[in-house]
Structure 1
Amino acid sequence: MKVAVVTGASSGIGQSAAIQIAKRGVGVILTYSSNEQGAKSTVAHIQQLGGTAVALPLDLGDTAGFPAFRDAVADALRETWQRESFDHLVNNAGFAGMAMIEDTSEELFDKLTSGLFKGPFFLTQTLLPLLADGGAIVNVTSSSTLPAVTVPGYSVYASVKGAVVVLTRYMAKEFSARRIRVNSVAPGATRTRFADDAFARNPEIIPELASTFALGRVGEPDDIGMVIATLVSEEGRWITGQDIQVSGGQNL
């Protein structure tokens, strides 16, 4: 049985990706930071589908903890799947943060850079020895990197996600020697707990926002989760080095 590691899978896009991957008969090691209950719900959902999943804590802002996380992944692989390696890595975990450039603190800048770029970079590096040859990586980026989706206040967030787009291409080049494919998916506005549950707190913004999408609605987690599952699967075997917009034609 193949196994995937999906970060930030206690809710939203990560939760959807973990479930959609599991539906294809793949075991899942999923991570959470603060929302342990959400992670347990994801595991329970996968088990109800007849799949196998394990939840592990992970703080992407703490690179010093990555070797211990790698050991925990190795233990889970041996104990649950009798394997020494895994096949797919989904770097999904993240968070939003916004401020106008003139108001951006160094603390916010460092938090976003560390959690959204440094974290995935060194987590991937740390897990590479456990990632099987011929495997696949998907990094979650953002449509905010596009000129048509330039929203004031997201300069650091979008710039860091843009760095992940470039990193994805370099990973695809360097890891190709091991036949490991690397792509990124760029969601548009999606109905998740993102940005401190913005949609749940401000439902009145949804109709106006929906009108900016060519397909007439904001995204749902499964819109992106299904694409991630496709990219790591056999159907995505000839796709690498791409940043794929999964945004329903936002601001098309």
Structure 2
Amino acid sequence: MSDRIALVTGGNRGLGRSTALALAEDGVDVVLTYRSNATEADDVVTELEKTGVRAAALRLDVGEVDGFPAFAEELRTLLGRTFGRNRIDHLVNNGGHAAQTRLGTTTVEDVDRLYAVHFKGPYFLTQALAGLISDGGSIVNLSSGLSRFAGDGWSVYGSLKAGVDQLTRYLATELGPRGIRVNAVAPGPIATDFGGGTMRDDDGARAFMASRAALGRIGEPDDVGPLIATVLSERARWVTGQRIEASGGTLL
């Protein structure tokens, strides 16, 4: 049985799913969260259990901070009942969504939801769960290549992810006395359903972004999930407060 447990938000698909499976390959038990697709989440739990680790799924909307105290208690109960533990070792703030925000068409509701999911949510979820993270544990916040380079229509999303980069440094400083490491992983263009699946399904968009990458292709989820698992692990025990970009050298 594993002596480590990770919580991965948005672990039912895309980068979250890849991260959960990579953690399982390292022998880490996983609790994943999902917002709306319980069947999809259950399928990932089954995949994880086939590797020999223990796994469970909990519903969580990372943009609804008022529900975080109840979620923390639900997680505490699950840990005791299913894993025989009262702490997690790793937290991955991955859950999110895409919304373009061009001047002249962006609504206040668009910006409020992006802020709630991509900055306010990770901040307050980390605060709510800090007491459940073991000393010596680790956190990865999902950033984006768009916090370094500007993509047309992604002004709010990219700016919030730049905020996540800075928040990561502050959290690394605040949690460092407990031996908890905090880093950000910033994916570039990845073939997932993010943003309507453009990088997965649109051949023209894929070819264009591949031409802007030093490695000459679009990334796949499994280019990023194993990296996140490595950053969480003891293999990266002397790394904290860093933004680590996984973009294949996009727009260098």
TM-score, normalised to structure 2, is 0.97
Q: Which residue of 2 aligns with 1:188?
A: 188
Say which SS state the counterpart of residue 21 (structure 1) adopts. helix
Q: Which residue of 1 aligns with 2:169?
A: 169
* Segment drifting more, 203-212 vs 48-57: 203-212
Say which SS state the counterpart of residue 138 (structure 1) adopts. strand
Say which SS state the counterpart of residue 224 (structure 2) adopts. helix
Alignment partners' CA distance in 2, 1:127 and 1:239? 21
Q: Which residue of 2 aligns with 1:248?
A: 248
Alignment partners' CA distance in 1, 2:157 and 2:120? 13
Q: Which residue of 2 aligns with 1:135?
A: 137
Quick one: which of 64, 67, 72 aligns to 1:65? Answer: 67
Alignment partners' CA distance in 2, 1:244 and 1:171? 16
Alignment partners' CA distance in 2, 1:208 and 1:113? 29
Q: Which residue of 2 aligns with 1:104?
A: 106
Say which SS state the counterpart of residue 12 (structure 2) adopts. coil
Deviations 1:24-56 (A, max 9, x none): 111100000012222112111111111111000
C-alpha displacement of 1:100: 1.0
**Contact 2:199–2:218 (CA under 8 A) maintained in structure 1:** no
Unaligned runs of 5+ residues in structure 2 are none
Alignment partners' CA distance in 2, 1:206 and 1:152? 15
Aligned length in residues: 250
Say which SS state the counterpart of residue 101 (structure 2) adopts. coil
C-alpha displacement of 1:79: 1.0
Q: Counterpart of 2:70 in structure 1: which amino acid? A: A
Q: Which residue of 2 aligns with 1:21?
A: 23
**Contact 1:10–1:37 (CA under 8 A) maintained in structure 2:** no
Alignment partners' CA distance in 1, 2:22 and 2:145? 22
Q: Counterpart of 1:180 in structure 2: which amino acid? A: I
C-alpha displacement of 1:200: 4.5
Q: Counterpart of 2:179 in structure 1: which amino acid? A: R
Q: Which residue of 2 aligns with 1:92?
A: 94
Q: How does 1:3-18 map to 2 (within 5 A)?
A: 3-18=5-20
Identity %: 46
Alignment partners' CA distance in 2, 1:171 and 1:158? 20
Alignment partners' CA distance in 1, 2:176 and 2:156? 30
